[in-house]
């Protein structure tokens, strides 16, 4: 429906189909390959929900079939296609925990321990990009946020482990030590 609405709007306004609107299909976790191609064509930024692979992955396999469940939140495919994509948690449906969301994108492990979509496992870098630089891009804020670049807002966290090198299964256990917002420390984890 969203793709059809976008195509209709393009036709009615006479604007270029790939104009930089950055339409965001939220909950795009069950987008088909042809829909991903349309997202690419129209410069849409799909927002995936990889926490589903953990919380409901087993149910998705049962209700939707293995093939469809395995392609849920296809970050790896979207990245290969050159799509910008994000990944969300949908509070209160799943906890707001960005490092758990990174873990779910990288591991794609269900509650029962099954891998849901081995071929769609994101790299840690892809999973981090989905919640940082791509998220800034989604909101037209890439000039001020999303990467550690001189001149951008100093919005960042300091972690107790490197998510790019830690064992993938431990990503969800990483702790935030410090949170910095616009260059000011707003959270400091107590020393234990």
* Domain contains 183: no
* Domain contains 105: yes
pLDDT at 86: 98
* Domain contains 37: yes
Burial class (CB in 10 A: 0-12, 13-18, 19+), 134: buried
* Domain contains 118: yes
Q: How many domains is the chain built from? A: 1
Predicted confidence (pLDDT) at residue 192 exceeds the cutoff of 80: no
* Domain contains 176: no
pLDDT at 80: 98
Residue 48 DSSP SS3: strand
CATH code, 25 = 3.20.20.140
* Domain contains 110: yes
What is the residue range of 70's domain?
2-12+20-143
pLDDT digits (tens, 9 = 90+) for 18-67: 778 899 999 999 999 999 999 999 999 999 999 999 999 999 999 999 99
Residue 58 DSSP SS3: helix
* Domain contains 130: yes
């Amino acid at each position: 429906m969203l793709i059809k609405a976008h195509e209709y709007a393009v036709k009615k306004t006479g604007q270029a189909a790939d104009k930089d609107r950055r339409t965001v299909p939220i909950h795009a976790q069950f987008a088909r390959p042809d829909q991903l191609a349309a997202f690419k064509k129209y410069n849409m930024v799909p927002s995936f929900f990889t926490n589903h692979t953990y919380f409901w992955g087993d149910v998705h396999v049962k209700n939707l079939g293995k093939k469809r469940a395995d392609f849920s939140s296809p970050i790896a495919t979207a990245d290969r296609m050159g799509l910008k994509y994000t990944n969300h948690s949908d509070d209160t449906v799943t906890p707001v925990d960005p490092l758990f969301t990174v873990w779910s994108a990288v591991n794609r492990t269900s509650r029962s321990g099954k891998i849901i979509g081995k071929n769609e496992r994101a790299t840690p870098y892809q999973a981090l990009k989905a919640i940082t630089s791509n998220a800034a891009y989604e909101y037209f804020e890439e000039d001020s946020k999303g990467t550690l670049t001189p001149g951008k807002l100093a919005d960042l966290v300091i972690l107790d482990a490197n998510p790019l090198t830690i064992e993938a299964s431990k990503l969800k256990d990483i702790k935030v030590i410090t949170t910095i917002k616009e260059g000011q420390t707003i959270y400091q984890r107590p020393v234990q």
